[in-house]
Amino acid sequence: MLTLLQTIVVFLILLLISFTVPKLQPLLYTAIFLLFFFYLLMTVIFPFSIQYVELFEPLPDPFARLLIGSAILYFISDIISKHIAEAGYGSLATISHFAVKITILTLWIQQTTELVEILSTLITK
Amino acid sequence: MIAFIEATLGAVFSSFVIIIISAFMALMIDFLFPSFAKWTRMILFFIIVTVALQPAFEHLTLIKDIAHSISMMFIGIYPILAASMVASGGAFSMLNFQPAMLLFANGAVILTERFLIPLLTAAIIFDLVSRFLPELSFTKMADLIRTTLLGTVSAVVAAYSIFITTGGTMSWAMTGFASAPIKELISQNVPLIGSFMTESMGTIGRYSSGASVVAGGWLISSIWTIALVPSMKTLLTAFFYRWTAALIEPYAHEDITGILDDIGKTLFVLCAVSFLIAFAFIYSALFSIILIKLITTMK
């Protein structure tokens, strides 16, 4: 609920900026956006995800952490690349999103190897 | 008995709890990050294959190993058994032990090892593929393999019954009156292979009741237990898969419940296949026991 109020305040500030200094608006928008976004990450998203990982403690170890971590990583990257695309740099947005996707896949490599091993024991022998 | 059930089902049960919890987790993540939904499904597949399908794969390799060792054992001892059968002369004919029957019983195990179990593995892989990539669906193929296997196994069991009953010396000792309701219960309630189970149980029972005159009831029942433990374990695991699928159906992806259901079906067929091995084991064991008994008493 507090986050909603904060968002409204940020929105109002942005409107004010676009009214008073329209030339600086893209720069200030990005700065305020990133600031607000990291503030939200620190106060809301990270504590929540830690709580969430603890909730799914009984699952075998890397899975809950990996799944929630990669979902949040994907979400962050999605938002940032959308922001970049909004500013008009679409290809840069694609590159950043692609890089994060590769990072997520790298996180899962060990599990993928296990999966392939299990399936291949079925076939061989 | 309870310790046995705990030991066999503990690992299986925990992996089903894992499926249920991870389906919940995937549900919540889908709600929070809808753009990640496609990947959540993929990753849920990962969890299910690496953690939850482990029991099924273990059973498959277990039955495969048992089939392999029994067929090896048979290849080793068959010449000796045949030779001693010749040496003992007419003593065996009164017990309706045909050498052809022994050959047939163990031939079925070799068939299982070389042909049926690889086919079942193929069925599991087809199921996984068709759930994992819905556009590349092999469901009909997997179903075809399963029904073919079930048909083959039933045919082999029918051949057994013919072998045993044409001899005429074996009589149906587990009296029909007492066991009919139990048979009815099993054949109604075990999906896919229920009637097959009662039939094959009847065949083994008919067979071993003749032998129990010579070998003694307790020995027969212990051989039965040893031979049927893997089959019963497989059956229980198959039930667990289907129960879990039924439990998580309201809130999990359709693919996930479908894959559990398919694996359950395949395990039922595996259970039917393992009956063939149990047959061969019971037959060989009784054969050896009676042979030794004859040799020792004839002296």
B61/A71 Cβ within 8 A: no
A22 to chain B, minimum CA–CA distance in Å?
Answer: 33
Same domain, A86 and A48: no
- A74-96, pLDDT tens digit by residue? 889 999 999 999 888 999 999 99
> In whole angstroms, what is the distance from residue B262 CA to residue B268 CA?
10
B32/A118 Cβ within 8 A: no
* Radius of gyration over every alpha carbon of chain B, rounded to an integer in angstroms: 22
Residues 16-55 of B with CB under 8 A from A: 17-18, 21-22, 25-26, 28-29, 32-33, 35-36, 39-40, 43, 46-47, 49-51, 53-54
Same domain, A83 and A41: no
User: Domain total for chain A?
Assistant: 2
pLDDT class of B214 with cuts at 50, 70, 90: low
Same domain, A90 and A104: yes
CB B94 within 8 A of CB B169: yes
B26/A67 Cβ within 8 A: yes
Unique residue bearing structure tokens 């329209």:
A22
Give the nearest chain A residue to B20 (CA atoms).
A59
Same domain, A41 and A1: yes
pLDDT for res B23:
82
Question: Tokens in use for B156?
Answer: 């082999």
pLDDT class of B177 with cuts at 50, 70, 90: very low
Most confident listed range (B169-183, B201-215, B274-288): B274-288
- Which DSSP helix (H) or strand (E) runs through B2? helix B2-32
Q: Is B13 on the interface with A (CB under 8 A)?
A: no
Same domain, A19 and A65: no
Q: Is B228 helix (H, G, I), strand (E, B) or coil?
A: helix
Residues 6+ apart with CB under 8 A from B51: A60, A63, B15, B18, B19
Same domain, A34 and A80: no
Domain assignment of residue B80, yes or no: yes
Average model confidence (pLDDT) across chain A? 87
Give the nearest chain A residue to B43 (CA atoms).
A67
Question: Tokens in use for B261?
Answer: 């259901």
Same domain, A85 and A108: yes
Same domain, A14 and A48: yes
- Quickly list DSSP for B38-80: HHHHHHHHHHIIIIISHHHHHHHHHHHHHHHHHHHHHHHHHHH
pLDDT class of B95 with cuts at 50, 70, 90: low
pLDDT class of B265 with cuts at 50, 70, 90: confident
Instruction: Decide which of A84 and B112 is more confident.
Output: A84
pLDDT for res B136:
82
Same domain, A9 and A27: yes
Q: Which of A14-23, A59-68, A93-102, B193-202 has the lowest mean pLDDT?
A: B193-202
Q: Taking 50 as the threshold, does the pLDDT of residue B172 lie above it?
A: no
Out of B29, B124, B128, whose CB is closest to A67? B29
B21/A56 Cβ within 8 A: yes
B46/A56 Cβ within 8 A: no
Unique residue bearing structure tokens 């049927």:
B228
Percent residues over pLDDT 70 in chain B: 70
B36/A114 Cβ within 8 A: no
pLDDT for res A69:
86
A75 to chain B, minimum CA–CA distance in Å?
Answer: 7
pLDDT for res B258:
85
Angle (CA) B181 B187 B191, round 5°: 150
Instruction: Decide which of A15 and B89 is more confident.
Output: A15
Domain assignment of residue B21, yes or no: no
The dihedral through the CA atoms of B81, B83, B84, B86 has a sign that is positive
B296 to chain A, minimum CA–CA distance in Å?
Answer: 42
A71 to chain B, minimum CA–CA distance in Å?
Answer: 6
pLDDT for res B255:
79
pLDDT for res B169:
41
A26 to chain B, minimum CA–CA distance in Å?
Answer: 26
Question: Tokens in use for B17?
Answer: 């709890």
Residue-range definition of the domain harbouring residue A118: 59-125
Question: Which candidate in B36, B40, B64, B120 is best for mutational testing of the A interface (most A CBs within 10 A)?
Answer: B36
Domain assignment of residue B235, yes or no: yes
Provide mean pLDDT across the span B166-181: 46
Residue-range definition of the domain harbouring residue B114: 59-298
User: Domain total for chain B?
Assistant: 1
Domain boundary among A11, A36, A55: A55
Same domain, A51 and A64: no
Domain boundary among A15, A39, A55: A55
Same domain, A71 and A91: yes
Q: Taking 70 as the threshold, does the pLDDT of residue B281 lie above it?
A: yes
CB B98 within 8 A of CB B163: yes
B49/A119 Cβ within 8 A: yes
pLDDT class of B163 with cuts at 50, 70, 90: low
Q: Is A49 on the interface with B (CB under 8 A)?
A: no
Give the nearest chain A residue to B117 (CA atoms).
A122
- B28-55, pLDDT tens digit by residue? 888 888 888 888 888 888 788 777 777 7
> In whole angstroms, what is the distance from residue B214 CA to residue B211 CA?
5
Same domain, A38 and A1: yes
Give the nearest chain A residue to B129 (CA atoms).
A119
Give the nearest chain B residue to A63 (CA atoms).
B47
Out of B22, B54, B57, whose CB is closest to A59? B22
Q: Taking 80 as the threshold, does the pLDDT of residue B202 lie above it?
A: no
